[in-house]
Structure formats: structure tokens, C-alpha cells
Amino acid sequence: MSEIIEIKTANYSVHIGGLKTATLPELIHSKHDFSDCYILVDENTKKHCLPVLRDLFADNGDFDQIGIVEVPAGEEHKNLDTVTSIARYLSTHNASRGAVLINLGGGVVCDMGGFAASIYKRGIGFINVPTTLLSQVDASIGGKVGVDLDGLKNYLGVFKNPKAVYVDPAFLKTLDQREVVAGYAEVIKHGLVADKEYLGLIREHDLGMGPQSMESWRAIIEQSVAIKNRIVTRDPREEGERKVLNFGHTIGHALESFYLGSDTPLLHGEAIAIGMICELYLSSILTGLSEETREGVCSYLSSIFPKRQLDLSSYGEYVATMYADKKNQDGKINFTLLTAIGSPLIDQYVDEESIRRALDYYSGL
């Protein structure tokens, strides 16, 4: 796994492969000539992932000059208060407009770090080094950065591309199985909205972490990054085609937000998996997806993701959260649905009764 695969986007590159053979230190010192460097971590990546970067930069004698910015882990901390703490650290350490922030972590760290970098002193550079499956195939790529507002997902944010993304599949070994499985939801989504053949490959994939599995993971990551990059390059600001990547997210985001403050919060991918099952049902009753396809994919999703018992009495609150979704227009709840695998339809407005029926469908599986 020594070879680095480079996938070029509109104005930066995604490097996939072992960080030991990557060019991250050289990028910082030569190509962009950043004045100073900081690494954003949470308590998990500080323990499990930062040593990899420490060794990488130590080879160049640079690590002692790098500032380490630590934030608490978890979606509940993805807010303006944490962004302020990041900016305050940068300011206290006299980070200049020529600085670069390396976001070492999962989707929360990449989203929040990118947002902090984008607004600090009107913008400094940032580089994503994603460490979870979800962030390696989705969150670190595409230029969306932001934070939540009062539990509403990504309500505050901007479009801002990183200077580069470095994806090392070896970081997946630092995750527990629940995190790996949760990240796989975004992989499955890419197959559902963009590539029927890829979905077939996904269904045969081993979710383990052995040597052979790691080679397979690298192939999966490359394909998912390529799919997302292809879509985002054609529609960087989500004015049309990029909306296909929202499949599963209208209901999924609502459930994730609802349970965030509970004793049993959902991981992002777990919520999106429920959302995809519900939205496959909506696709079958509204946009012509065959029942056979729906049942086959939903059976596959149900075999991977643990069942969450939804509360019938909370349906109204779920729907109310969907009405607050930033993707809506004219007060209508906006979905991406499917006519077939690989054939999505954007801007599908769905009534409350159909949404409730979709939630019932999931509960009845």
C-alpha cells in the first residue's frame, strides 16, 4: 500500500495512501509556503492519530514548531463555541494569515476546522487528514465546511476548499466497529445515487480490518472519492446535480438532530442508514422505484445497521425538524429520491403523511 493515488479536483488534490510516503511536509514547506502550521485534533485523534503526524514531521525536524489545537470529540461540540475556542488559540499563538490548519480527525473535526480556518482573519489555508471512514469518503471532500446551530445540522457554514486532502486507510484501524459500519452508509449512498455496479462491489465487501481487507478498503475509498469528486466538480455550490448526495439525509439529519441530546445518540451514518431506508420507501411510492429493488436494498441495509426503535409519539418532532432543514424551499420538505439504482431525482417535495408512512415502514422491518 505504498503507492499514493492522486485524484485531482478543480483546485486541489486528494492523496490516497500511506502518509509515510505522502508529501504532506513538502506541501506545507514548498508549494504553498505557509508561514506557520497548526494541527486540530480531538481527544481521540490526539491519542491514536497524532503520533503518525508527529513521526512524519519529526523526520523533517519540524514538529516542535507546530501548534496543537485540541477540541472535545463529538457532534454535540460542533458549534460556534468550539470554533471560537479554535480561533482564540490561533490568535493567542499569533497565527498569521499565512498559516495553515491541518484538520486531523473525522467529519466533525474536518467540518469545524475548515470553517474556523475559513473565517479566522478572513481566511487561512487548511488541509484535511480524515481519520474515519465517513470523513475519508465524504466529509473531507467537496468544500462544505460548517457547524450546527441549536442542534440543526450544518446551519452555519461556507463553501471553501482545502489546500489538499490526505487519506490514509490505515487510520481505519483506530476505529471501533460501530464507527466503521456507520461510515459505510455514505459509501452505500454513493452506489445508490451514482453507480449500480459499484453498489454490487460494496455488497461483497468485507468490513474487517485484516491485510486483505485493507487493500479492499483502499479500492472502496478511491471509488467513493472519485464519485463524489465527479459530482462536486460539476456542481460545487449544490445548485443542481450535487443535491443527489443528499439522498437519505432529509430524514437522516432530522433523526440525528433529535437524538443528539438523548442517552442514545445516533452516529451520523446510522441516522443516514435509517434515512435511506425511509427514502427508498418514498421512492417506491412516489418516483417509480421497484418494490423488488427497495426490498433488496433495505434488506441489505438492515443486515448491516442496528435497528433503532423509533418513537411513534415523536413523529411530529421528527417532521418539525425536517421543516427546518436548510435544503427546503417555499416551506416544503425537500428530498432526493430514486427512480432506479444510479438514477436519482432531486427537488422532490413530500407531504407529511407520506413521511409518516416511510417512518412506519422502517419501524415495521
Enumerate the domain spans of the chain: 5-175, 178-364
Segment 213-219 mean pLDDT: 86
212-224 mean pLDDT: 88
Grid cell of 329 as nine digits: 424551499
> By the 8 A CB rule, do 161 and 11 touch?
yes
Q: Please write the tens of the pLDDT for every residue from 243-279.
A: 999 999 999 999 999 999 899 999 999 999 999 999 9
DSSP string for 127-173: EEEE-SHHIIIIITSSSEEEEEETTEEEEEEEE---SEEEE-GGGGG
**What number is the average pLDDT over the span 137-161?**
96
The DSSP 8-state label assigned to residue 332 in this structure reads B
Q: How far apart are CA 65 and CA 28, in angstroms?
A: 13
Q: Give the pLDDT band of residue 64 (cuts 50, 70, 90).
A: confident
pTM score, whole prediction:
0.95
Please say if the pLDDT value at position 41 is more than 90.
Answer: yes
| CATH number attached to the domain at 178-364 | 1.20.1090.10
* Average per-residue pLDDT for the chain: 94
pLDDT band at 69; cut points 50, 70, 90: very high
Looking at residue 22, its pLDDT comes to 67
Do 302 and 277 meet the contact criterion of CB atoms below 8 Å apart? yes
Instruction: Compute CA distances 209 → 39, 44, 198, 215, 306, whole Å.
Output: 27, 19, 20, 9, 20
pLDDT digits (tens, 9 = 90+) for 329-365: 999 999 999 999 999 999 999 999 999 999 999 999 9
Question: What is the spatial distance between Cα 136 and Cα 266, in angstroms, rounded to a whole number?
Answer: 19
Could you give the CA distance from residue 80 to residue 189 in angstroms, rounded to a whole number? 29
Q: Please, which pLDDT band fits residue 214 given cuts at 50, 70 and 90? A: confident
Of all residues in the chain, the percent with pLDDT exceeding 70 is 96
Confidence of residue 82 (pLDDT cuts 50, 70, 90): very high
Average pLDDT over residues 141-152: 96
CATH class of 5-175: alpha beta
pLDDT range class, residue 211, cuts 50, 70, 90? low
Q: Would the pLDDT of 203 be above 70? A: yes
The pLDDT confidence band at residue 1, using thresholds 50, 70 and 90, is very low
CA atoms within 13 A on the CB side of 129: 28
